[in-house]
Amino acid sequence: MDAGGKPRKASARLDGQAQNRSLERGLEILKAFRPGADVLGNSELAEKTGIAKATVSRLTQTLVTAGLLVHDPRARAYRLGATVLSLALAVRLGNPVLQAALPLMRSASDRLRVNVGLATADHDEMVYLDSVRYNRKSALRTVVSGQRVPIELTSLGRAYLAAVSEDQRVAFLRRLQTRRPAKFAVLEQQIVEAIDCVKQNRYCAAAWQLEVVALSTPLVISGLPVYVVNMSLSTPEPLPKVVERLHAPLLSLRSSILDAMDQSLAETSPPL
């Protein structure tokens, strides 16, 4: 593979941030597991992450004894272990925004017959804390959490960009330019428009998948990262029509969530 140009000091993580290399690498290994790459052997991991085989072997061992990975001797490979699910449960139960929002999201989804999601940013993607998906047959109403979608293409991500600080926004755009030099001009244009729309109306809309339209609105809560609520639906209707129908309910959901948050913040901090 990369036998020739192996740089001495790994790939020069000159982030300026002091980091713990072993931990960093261990986490890289964890993150190498993603939907579609469920079972990975040591050499695949070594290849994906660029870490030496011997090192990978030791790291996977500790990950296994920690329960984050389980070894499948049949396949000579690892999968993510159930411990991860416990951590995820802790995230969900411990997230005040999700706790406040989820009941409201459910009832809104029921009432309006749309999908309602709550997401936040992770690196350069949005990740759903939860998305309650509306479905005629209630048995199929799945709840999906952890799904990742691009920031630049979705109403979710654009609403997020509209709410974060100038600094963060330009930093993101810079990275985007590096990642997608070709499409950058048009993307930036769309993003700017969406941000303007949010500044004016507190929401923006997009249809990045064929026949599915989504509206999103940011949730800015002091001390917490920016969250975004969205409503989406699969329909042949044109975008403006859907926007007209959903923008008011979305903003109302937004207010309810913010109210609920204020309340829970109030009861957390003792009365002055």
Partner DNA sequence: CCCCGCATTCCACAGAATGGAATTGATGGG
Partner DNA sequence: CCCATCAATTCCATTCTGTGGAATGCGGGG
Residues that bind DNA (CB under 7 A): 6, 9-10, 18-23, 25, 41-44, 46, 51-55, 57-61, 71, 76-77
Q: Cβ distance 63 to 71 under 8 Å?
A: no
Dig out the tokens for 142 from the structure. 């799945």
- Cα 134 to Cα 229: distance, rounded to the nearest angstrom: 15
**Closest distance to DNA from the beta carbon of 129 (Å):** 24
Among 147, 168, 177, 235, binds a second copy (CB under 8 A): 147
- Cα 141 to Cα 134: distance, rounded to the nearest angstrom: 6
Segment near a second copy (CB under 8 A); pick from 145-153, 179-187, 232-240, 248-256: 145-153
Choose between 23 and 186: whose C-beta lies nearer to a second copy: 23
Site for a second copy in 106-125 (CB under 8 A): 106-107, 110, 120, 122-123
Choose between 93 and 272: whose C-beta lies nearer to a second copy: 93
x/- site string to a second copy, residues 193 to 232, per CB under 8 A? -----------------------------xxxx-------
4 counts as binding a second copy under rule CB under 8 A: no
Which are the contacts of 38, defined by CB distance < 8 A and separation ≥ 6? 79, 80
The two beta strands, 143-144 and 125-132, are: antiparallel
Which alpha helices (H) appear in the chain, and where do they start and end?
Answer: 21-32, 42-49, 53-65, 83-94, 96-112, 155-163, 166-179, 184-201, 239-268
